[in-house]
Structure 1
């Protein structure tokens, strides 16, 4: 069964899945994370993480979630793992650093880093027209309004570029955003960039994904854009399309490129587009909130993630462990190096984690509320400069602070994320624990 959202009259809503992509509570995160990298390195050993631990204890004991894993680290130091609860409600196998979580849109920064590697290698350029790599996108048309008939279009005023794909400014649509004829056209064409469950959950998504990345790209090119390229930020399938760009430019399948150039070198041996049957004992169950109750929508033993997807979804397709994703974050704050080993060039990481928004495009009047956007993830601006990260539709979230070296990940499994304020509570607790350690150091001094 394809990636489906949930009916708007239930607590599982399309809007809720959408908001799950934003990393709520970033302000609280940053309030406790400013300062020099060396200062936080000194504070780190003093942090007891009492508030972060208490959040997990409270949510699990009240059965608001099945399990909770937090992974927090500084620079190249080993992470602290805080965890509570079983892989599934009523189960007896505890969740932990090596449990497997559907990370959904936390896949986007991985795809963004992969693209940045090709940019740094000179195989792509940020402002290169997409049509140079995928000629089918040479003559695009744009809807006269986001809900207009797919035949009501005008010519695109400019070419789609690689920069626009990385920053959701190419004018492409997304099933979790759009409504009306264009959403229906996406569904019919298999522009369905992910999966949730085998269960017949009614909702906004329908149809099967296109059978390959090549077919996905070709079908997408035949559909109108929702907005003129380079004119506004709108969450989209652009990172899925970037997967096709990567495989054309690199000459190898997208998933193989990630395995050979990021996962393998970074020691991420528990990150998959398809969970091997041998690893099912580590897989969590994903839940949906219905009338305030947690209902299993993707049980581990029958998970849709045990089947090979139609294609590797570069926007929302990965399953990973807290330990693995922390290694990705460790590589980011190491500017491409992890534990003394170079995985990605420093310049590629600087590209990925910088504000790449086209000139004149702002996030101020979007649901992002401001800031910048890099390669597949949000980028802090002003007092929040140095942060980079994104989150997933089933409650996971990860962020790094490139200035201080702080890295943080939250791993839970429920949809939609905004059914409860766990993510914001986590961020507040994170800042609280850091400030408590700082205060204790000042007193000791």
Structure 2
């Protein structure tokens, strides 16, 4: 299949990136009547834990829908259980496992959100602090009167309220997103290099993302020079808020964003395989990413020549990380430990509790959005006691803070809505938990 076959628009930039970004798997697990000890024991007593998800993993791989799939589950601080099938490339290469490297895209957002919560805990940042006190260029923002309309003066009005840190964390700051917006604002983002994230070095027609700016400072300054698409605090709208948060973290902490993540989160948690740039020595662990096109898989970012082997233009807090199931599970384990892992405190309990709870501004509407009727925490959806998000290449992760449950799914295909597995992952978890609960009663 030639790459020119994409020219009909069936696989556009928006289609590639959009799906996983908003189909985060935060399951509504409320209503499961038993605690985690009883549920875990019930699963063991059945002789095969997580049967619904296990069957899905095997079906997806055996039918050739994906090259590989890994799901992991853990209770509290216990070691995770893994369900895995397939190889790093379609029908070739090493078997996928806990240490396989995956492009997690928007599953970067909860990590950035928790980094911000750490600075709030440190007293260096306030949840309702105005962004302009940190980045003065955002002091007098203009807003489009007509959503996705002209960016000329005739279609702009002053912002009615300042942008706050809470709004950045919850996609309510009124900022746009090149993979969501249409019209002149999207063109302006591309022309000014405001491009957070990368997919492929291959020349896929309809997927020319242009040349990105080369620093978070330039990214932030560029955003400040363009209008908002909505009034700050008025509505939930998927955005570059968590990418901009990376610049906020740099300024407030006094160190580069990627260094802050490594020193304050990755190293203390024991996340040794999470990167903005995959080291050459580790490329054999990187799974190939595929595009689903007419029912077939086309490799768009092979592991051994991936764009993630290059130094990125800047570290994107919204979609930039590559990680392994083992590493991301450790991040989730830290959350279910309310800031502790392996007896070591990484962040404060209150910071975790607030970050994994609904912190949407009271003024923000969710009707007609991807999170209608739900809450939103620091970079992730909140449903009941569950918090999590997904990634554009089919990954998903959640923690249920009441049950102490960690659950995640890893695979590599785009667009993520090509298959239902990511959007239904939370429901599949709920189904297996409900079956365990019935068995235990």
Bucket of the pairwise TM-score, normalised by the shorter protein? over 0.9
Specify the alignment match of 1:269 in structure 2. Answer: 272
Decide whether the 8 Å contact of 1:101 with 1:321 is kept in 2: yes
CA contact (8 A) 2:216 2:247 kept: yes
Report the Cα distance in structure 2 between the residues aligned to 1:12 and 1:185, rounded to whole angstroms. 18
State how far apart, in whole Å, the 2-side matches of 1:184 and 1:318 are: 25
Matched residue, 2:237: 234
Structure 1 counterpart of 2:401:
402
Residue number in structure 2 paired with 1:3 = none
| Residue 317 (structure 1) shift | 0.3
CA contact (8 A) 2:70 2:83 kept: yes
Q: How does 1:20-419 map to 2 (within 5 A)?
A: 20-23=20-23, 26-27=26-27, 30=29, 33=32, 35-43=34-42, 45-46=44-45, 48-151=49-152, 152-203=155-206, 206-380=209-383, 385-419=384-418
Query: How many angstroms does 1:214 deviate by?
Result: 0.6
Mapped to 2, the partners of 1:83 and 1:193 lie a distance apart of 31
- Give the superposition deviation at 1:166: 0.5
CA change 1:31–1:54 in 2 (3 A) is farther
Any unmatched runs of 5+ in structure 2?
A: 1-5
How many angstroms apart in 1 are the aligned matches of 2:142 and 2:207?
24
Corresponding residue pairs, total = 432
* Larger mean Cα displacement after TM superposition, 165-174 or 42-51: 42-51
**Separation in structure 2 between the aligned mates of residue 7 and residue 347 of structure 1, nearest angstrom:** 50
Aligned 8 A contact 1:7 1:204 in 2: no
Equivalences for 1:418-429 in 2 at 5 Å?
418-424=417-423, 426-429=425-428
CA distance 1:11–1:142, change in 2 (3 Å)? same
In 1: Cα distance, 2:8 partner to 2:117 partner: 37
Which range moved further: 283-292 or 196-205? 196-205
Q: Aligned to 2:94, what secondary structure does the other structure show?
A: coil
CA distance in 1, matches of 2:261, 2:203: 32
Q: What displacement does 1:427 show?
A: 3.7
- What is the rounded CA distance, in whole Å, between the counterparts of 1:330 and 1:26 in structure 2? 16
Instruction: Spell out, residue by residue over 1:17-48, the C-alpha distance to the aligned partner (whole angstroms, 9 max, x if none).
Output: 32322346655x62685543444354454462
Structure 1 residues 103 and 33: CA distance shift in structure 2, 3 A: farther
Structure 1 gaps of 5+ residues are 1-5
SS of residue in 2 equivalent to 1:230: coil
Cα distance, 1:232–1:42 mapped onto 2, change above 3 Å? same
After alignment, is 198-207 or 125-134 more displaced? 198-207
Cα distance between partner residues in 2 of 1:118 and 1:203: 40
Q: Name the SS for the 1:93 alignment partner.
A: strand
Distance 1:355 1:7, change over 3 A: farther
Retained in 2: the 8 A contact 1:378–1:388?
A: yes
Counterpart secondary structure, 2:22? coil
- 1:71 partner SS: strand
Aligned partners of 1:399 and 1:407 also within 8 Å: yes
Distance between the aligned counterparts of 2:32 and 2:313, measured in 1? Answer: 41
Q: List per-residue Cα deviations over 1:166-191 (Å, max 9, x = no partner).
A: 11111111011100000000011111
Quick one: distance in 2 between partners of 1:82 and 1:33? 23
Is 2:174–2:232's contact at 8 Å kept on the other side of the alignment?
Answer: yes
Whole-Å separation in 1 of the counterparts to 2:62 and 2:424: 16
Deviations 1:388-444 (A, max 9, x none): 0000000000011001101100000000111111224544443333333333333xx
